[in-house]
Every structure is written in C-alpha cells, then in structure tokens.
Amino acid sequence: MDPPFSPDRGGDTDQETAKLQLAKGLADKAKHIKSCVLPPRYSDVYPSGHLNKIIRVRIPNQPPSTLWDISIEDGRISSIESYDPESSDHRPLSGVLDGSNRLLAPSLCHAHIHLDKCFLLQDPKYSDLQIENGDFREAMEMTGKAKARFEEDDLLRRGRQLIEESIHYGVTAMRAFVEVDGGVQFKCLDAGLKLKKEFEDRCQVQICAFAQLPLFSSHDSGEEIRRLMTEAAHQEGVDVIGSTPYVEQDEVKMKMNVRWVSMMALFNGKPLDLHLDYFLEEDKQPLIWAALDIIKGRNWMERDGKQITLGHCTRLVRFKEEDWQRLTRDIGKLPVSFVGLPTSDLFMMRTQEMVRGTLPVPEMIKTYGLEAAIAVNNVGNAFTPQGSCDPLSIASLGVGLYQAGTKKDAEILYETVSLRAKAAIGCEATSLNLAVGEPADFVLFNRADVGWRCRKSLVEVVYDAGANRQTIHRGKLTTY
C-alpha cells in the first residue's frame, strides 16, 4: 500500500502540479471563449415559455435591409414595429426570440397528407415490400399487404415521425388522411386521433376519416366500409369526411360514391374531401362535372355546407380554355378548393405515350381565380417513394414544373404551401404581409451566420429553402 502523501515525494508532486496546470489551462480557455465574438444565438428563448416578442427579423414584402419587431399576445400578432437597435435590450430575456436578421414568414401547411401510409418503404417491418413495377396497381396491392400488418405501435411510430419532421420544416397545420375499411377497421383512425391529441400544442392536425377502397363496387366490403364510415363520422375528433370515387368500377358507382359521402359530410356538418379524376386519358370523361352537380343538388350553400376540397384531378390538365371557363362558372359560390399533388402525380400518372401531368395550380389561381394549393400527399411509400415532409420542396419543384420563376410566381408558390393551403382545408392563416390580429404562426429561415447565403426573401426561399428553420405555432416555439 502507498504511504500517505508527503511533499518530499516527487512523483505525487508532479501529479499535483500537472492537475493545477490543467485547471489553469481550462480556466484560460474559458476566458478566451468568453472574450470571442460568437455567432448569434440560435434562440434566446427559454423552451418552457411562450413568446411575447420576436425581434430583429426580416419580413416578406419589405426591404431586406429593414428589420422588424413582432409582438405577440394570446397567440396572435399584437404589433409590428421597426427594430430600433438603440432602444433594444440585447440581453437574453425570457419570452423574447432574437431573430438575428433572419426571414420570418407565415408557417407552412400540408393540405393533403396520408398519415397511416407514410415511410412504408423505410420501416424495417415492411422491408420485404419494395417497388418492382412502379405503377398504380402495384402501389394499391403493396399498400393492401402493408395494411394487413398495421398495428397501433407502428402506426404511431411512423405517424409521429411524419408530424415531427413536418414541424421541423415549418408546418403548423395539416389535413391527415387515415383509412377506414373492413381490413384495418378503426386502427388507423384511432392512431390518428391519438397523434392529433399528442401534438395539439405544436400543430393543428385535422383528421380525415377516409374511404380509399370502393364504397359500392363490391357489395359485401362496400357495405361494411359504409357502416364503418358512418360510425367514424360521429366520432369526436374526426374533422373531415373523404373518399376516392375514382376507385369504383364504373361511372354510375362513382356518382353513387359522391352522393353518399357528400350526404355524410353535410349531415354531420363536416368538410368534404374528394380524390377525383386520377387519370390522364383524354377519351375518359372527368367526373368533376357530375360531382359539382351532385353537391349543388344537395343545396350545399343553403344548408351551410362546409369546405369542399378536391385532390389530384389530373384529368383537368387536358382542359381547354372553354373547359376552365365552364369550371369557374359551375363552381360559382361553392367553397371549392383544388389541391395538386405533383410528386405523386408525376410518379404515378403516365399514359402509354408517356404523357404526364398534374394540376396547373399557378395558372388556375392567376388566370381563372380558382382556389388552389399544392401538397406532399405521400412520403416514402409505393405511391410516392421520392421526396420529404417539406412542403417547400413541392413549391421549389413548381418553379420548373410550372415555369414559374418570377417574384410574383414565387410568392404564389409560397402561398400554395402556406396560406392558400390552409384556406383549402378551412384553417385560419397568416398573410404574407403579417397583420395585427392574425395568428402568430411563423417559420424562421436559417441562421444569420451563413453570410450572404442567408435567405432574405420569399423568392430565395422558394428557389432553395434550406433545412435550417425554426417553427412558431400560436406564439410558441415548437422547434429549437
């Protein structure tokens, strides 16, 4: 055993001297770090609190050299004032976010996303289900096989991942489709309702009880789906009723589908979401004319019918000028919005002549005054293997897809994944100009220490949004 420490013992003295030198070195290093000029803090907000102010930010439609302070009360914008560096307190304060010259814009929205079918190509549980043909029929078959294995744990795991990633990209609202049929029963719906509750403080998740399979083309299964959908429509937390008329075997049954599901939505006082006309063949007539007639025949406006959202509608790319004019007239005052789904449409929709197409959303807005948005639809499954949960990736794709590269085009594309997307699903939105009284729902783009690559305008964001963002939902910072 070693004897007690003695000053005469040189080895121990050397050890003690080394310790003292190490401690002095660490102290000197700490002093040096403290004296350095560090990049702006990513956030000066204590994570537990709500924001009452965001300072030193750029905002859309204002000169990039001008900075602003946004005050927030009860989750809404209470004032917008020019930033004054002389009067501002630069100490980190609770409830104050220093924007550090970054761009603050309205938050993003998924107007159309499938919560239960996400990440099937990545999840180890479904690793044996991989794409071989890449067509619609295979996607339906693969998804059917996957649905037979759905259980609450993986539905929650995959759905939670989708919502978390979406929030990271700036999403504060989404319409999430969950399927109801004889196979899954209410598994998808129950998981969706749990996730809606789990994320209610960070993201507004609308749950759409959705009939992906035919309601009338198969007597036994269709009858069961109608029974389950009727029950689902009455469940607390179900926000929207939807179906897919194009999966029915003929036009008669497609119309029966629209009649039945529109009645369910109207009777239960819920918005209606139809996935229509998912084909491109010119010799096949679109159902949209009949669908609008059926809805108007329900006296939709007189009976206080809610928002009507029409997804896909790829057959409309064949429309001529007179068709678009007729569509505008037929819609009239009906609360109809279209949602184009470019990534899914371009992967799935092709004719034998290799014609591809997706709704011409910017033209529909600019030329015909129609309400329209674009959305992600699927993430990581056989319907859409490519892409991410970022709505702005679809807006960026739209620059080339629609040849929409001007400043005005970029603003419209941003709107289609932000305030126009929220309008399409009946959510209150924040305008590009940011007005007092509007929801404090924002996305704050990248850091100021990236220098001249810092996104200073919506045009730069739509061209290339980057991945470094912070999300604010009703005045609460939801990402760090």
Residue range 83-140, pLDDT digits in tens: 988 776 666 677 899 998 899 999 999 999 999 999 999 999 999 999 998 888 898 8
Contact assessment for residue 108 and residue 170, using Cβ atoms and an 8 Å cutoff: yes
pLDDT value of position 267? 95
The angle, 0 to 180 degrees and rounded to 10, between the axes of the packed helices 288-297 and 321-331 is 20
pLDDT value of position 15? 57
- The sign one gets for the Cα dihedral 130, 136, 142, 146 is positive
pLDDT value of position 21? 58
pLDDT value of position 32? 41
pLDDT value of position 25? 53
pLDDT value of position 448? 58
Q: Which residues in the chain land under pLDDT 50?
A: 1-11, 26, 29-48
Radius of gyration of the chain (CA): 27
pLDDT value of position 45? 40
Fold of 53-106+441-477: Urease, subunit C; domain 1 (2.30.40)
- Please report, for the chain, the start and end positions of each structural domain, with discontinuous segments joined by +: 53-106+441-477, 108-424
pLDDT value of position 135? 86
pLDDT value of position 91? 60
- In this structure, CATH architecture of domain 108-424: Alpha-Beta Barrel (3.20)
- The sign one gets for the Cα dihedral 117, 230, 338, 422 is negative
